[in-house]
């Protein structure tokens, strides 16, 4: 191994390397905190000046990332957030955690990654390590980023190092914090892999080196497609069993007693978040290049997309049984975040359900202890709501309450006692009650 690789490796191992993380979001911010806790100095880069200012005042805008800890590091001058990308030249390891969304035609939108790579390439210097963490299709690091980074004349593996290491953050997970989740790493060259592995060895429980960035990129997609397909399968089972008068949740619980060959997935109102509804389509798009239509991905997408419609039709059916039409009905959505105990509304099925109900003339309110207001959504520009306070009197005002997100702070038995009709998409109400319908 070259002396330069060994020098950077030892700088990392001695925690003398300055870390630069680009994208201070749900992924970047927990990563900042992990590096800080392990004794590194960190610069946090973002284009959003509001976020940067908040961070420099030791404030966090993500519920599960505590502001107190961050404040201490800002005070000790171990952490600084910045919009000045000129500072990248000071950094030894650059980690990219910017968004990788889909465009309006469900095609990958790599613009954030490519813009960031161009910015890095302007100040790229010898002995820097660049790692992409954003989820993307196989080939992004090697085919899209590498040419941009080498355009200035520096050579990968000789002058600088490039690797891919997928993010596996599970927001709201109290046990699996960033440092407890093993990390897969693929480098363009052996030297790239070695320094990238050395970097993650300092902060996570285990680093798994693989033969190339492509394998690391594909690993992340397999993990997310596995979830998407299994969620779709159990959601389809839910609809079939419902027609047969069988409770899917009871079936999943019983099947889970099998000690091998079965892994439980729970049905719900659809899927949400920045990953599972989005990432599989990165592979579906790339697969077309090799003439392969990704059937599982498309089918899972279709079924999961259908779920909010299913919940709405169940609600209409139950209201109808009670002599109430959907037009003018007062409906409360319980939980607008896409999963429990977090504040992230991205791709939340609750938003789709609200918009479908509003389209049918229902008067929709929501409660979410972690999301005081909901507006500014690209797909739902007309949606502007504030979380209502939950009281016995308030609950009684609604014709139906739809449980979409089972936040742990909710007292579901109390909610069910005080509501006329509950549509429960999460099996949240445990006691059997006539006014609770699972959907």
Ligand X SMILES: NC(=O)c1ccc[n+]([C@@H]2O[C@H](COP(=O)([O-])OP(=O)(O)OC[C@H]3O[C@@H](n4cnc5c(N)ncnc54)[C@H](O)[C@@H]3O)[C@@H](O)[C@H]2O)c1
| Catalytic center residues | 275
Q: Name, in order, each residue with C-beta under 8 angstroms of 96's C-beta and a sequence gap of 6 or more.
A: 22, 23, 113, 116, 117, 120, 130, 131, 132, 133, 134
Q: Are 5 and 194 in contact (CB under 8 A)?
A: yes
Residue whose Cβ sits closest to ligand X: 25
Q: Strand, coil or helix: what is 185?
A: strand
Quote the DSSP letter at residue 427. -
Q: Name, in order, each residue with C-beta under 8 angstroms of 301's C-beta and a sequence gap of 6 or more.
A: 228, 232, 277, 280, 281
Nearer to ligand X by Cβ, of 99 and 369: the residue is 99
CA–CA separation, 84 and 352 (whole Å): 37
Q: Name, in order, each residue with C-beta under 8 angstroms of 393's C-beta and a sequence gap of 6 or more.
A: none
Q: Are 336 and 405 in contact (CB under 8 A)?
A: yes
Q: Name, in order, each residue with C-beta under 8 angstroms of 230's C-beta and a sequence gap of 6 or more.
A: 263, 265
Q: What tokens were used for 185?
A: 């790493």
Nearer to ligand X by Cβ, of 100 and 141: the residue is 100
Nearer to ligand X by Cβ, of 25 and 191: the residue is 25
Smallest separation (angstroms) from ligand X to the CB of 171: 5
- Number of Cβ atoms within 10 Å of the Cβ of 159: 17
CA–CA separation, 285 and 282 (whole Å): 5
Site of tokens 């030249």: 89
Q: What tokens were used for 106?
A: 């469900």
Smallest separation (angstroms) from ligand X to the CB of 203: 16
Q: Are 92 and 11 in contact (CB under 8 A)?
A: yes
Nearer to ligand X by Cβ, of 13 and 90: the residue is 90
Smallest separation (angstroms) from ligand X to the CB of 101: 8
Q: Are 330 and 399 in contact (CB under 8 A)?
A: yes
Nearer to ligand X by Cβ, of 51 and 438: the residue is 51
Q: Are 284 and 224 in contact (CB under 8 A)?
A: no
Nearer to ligand X by Cβ, of 275 and 439: the residue is 275
Antiparallel, parallel or unpaired: β 385-386 and 373-374: antiparallel
Smallest separation (angstroms) from ligand X to the CB of 45: 6
Give residues in contact with ligand X (CB under 6 A): 22-28, 45-48, 51, 97-100, 112, 115-116, 134-135, 167, 169, 171, 274-275, 279
Q: What tokens were used for 143?
A: 């085919």
At 375, give phi and psi (nearest 5°): -160, 175
Q: Are 163 and 188 in contact (CB under 8 A)?
A: yes
Nearer to ligand X by Cβ, of 97 and 131: the residue is 97
Smallest separation (angstroms) from ligand X to the CB of 183: 12
């Amino acid at each position: 191994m070259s002396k330069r690789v060994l020098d950077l490796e030892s700088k990392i191992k001695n925690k003398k390397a300055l870390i630069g993380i680009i994208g201070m979001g749900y992924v970047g911010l927990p990563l900042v905190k992990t590096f800080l806790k392990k004794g590194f100095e960190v610069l946090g880069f973002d284009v959003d000046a509001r976020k940067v200012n908040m961070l420099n005042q030791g404030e966090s805008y993500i519920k599960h990332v505590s502001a107190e800890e961050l404040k201490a590091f800002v005070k000790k001058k171990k952490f600084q957030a910045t919009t000045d990308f000129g500072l990248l030249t000071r950094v030894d390891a650059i980690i990219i955690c910017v968004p990788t969304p889909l465009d309006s035609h469900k095609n990958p939108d790599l613009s954030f990654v490519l813009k960031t790579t161009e910015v890095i390439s302007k100040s790229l210097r010898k002995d820097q390590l660049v790692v992409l963490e954003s989820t993307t299709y196989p080939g992004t690091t090697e085919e899209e980023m590498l040419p941009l980074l080498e355009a200035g004349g520096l050579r990968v593996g000789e002058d600088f190092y490039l690797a891919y290491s997928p993010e596996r953050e599970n927001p709201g997970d109290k046990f699996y914090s960033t440092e407890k989740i093993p990390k897969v790493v693929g480098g363009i060259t052996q030297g790239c892999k070695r320094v990238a592995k050395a970097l993650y060895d300092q902060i996570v429980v285990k680093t798994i080196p693989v033969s190339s960035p492509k394998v690391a990129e594909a690993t992340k997609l397999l993990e997310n497609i596995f979830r998407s397909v299994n969620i779709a399968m159990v959601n389809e089972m839910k609809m079939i069993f419902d027609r047969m008068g069988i409770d899917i949740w009871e079936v999943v619980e019983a099947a889970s007693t099998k000690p091998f060959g079965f892994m439980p997935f729970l049905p719900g109102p659809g899927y949400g978040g920045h990953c599972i509804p989005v990432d599989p389509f990165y592979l579906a798009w790339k697969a077309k290049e090799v003439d392969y239509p990704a059937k599982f991905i498309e089918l899972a997408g279709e079924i999961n997309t259908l779920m909010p419609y299913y919940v709405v039709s169940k609600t209409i059916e139950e209201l109808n049984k009670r002599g109430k039409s959907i037009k003018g009905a007062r409906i409360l959505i319980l939980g607008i975040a896409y999963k429990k105990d977090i504040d992230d509304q991205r791709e939340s099925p609750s938003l789709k359900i609200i918009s479908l109900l509003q389209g049918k003339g229902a008067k929709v309110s929501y409660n979410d202890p972690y999301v005081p207001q909901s507006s500014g959504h690209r797909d739902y520009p007309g949606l502007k709501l504030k979380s209502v306070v939950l009281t016995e009197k308030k609950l009684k005002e609604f014709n139906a309450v739809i449980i979409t997100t089972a936040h742990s702070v909710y007292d579901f038995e109390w909610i069910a006692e005080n509501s006329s009709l509950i549509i429960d998409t999460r099996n949240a109400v445990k006691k059997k009650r006539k006014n609770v319908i699972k959907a």
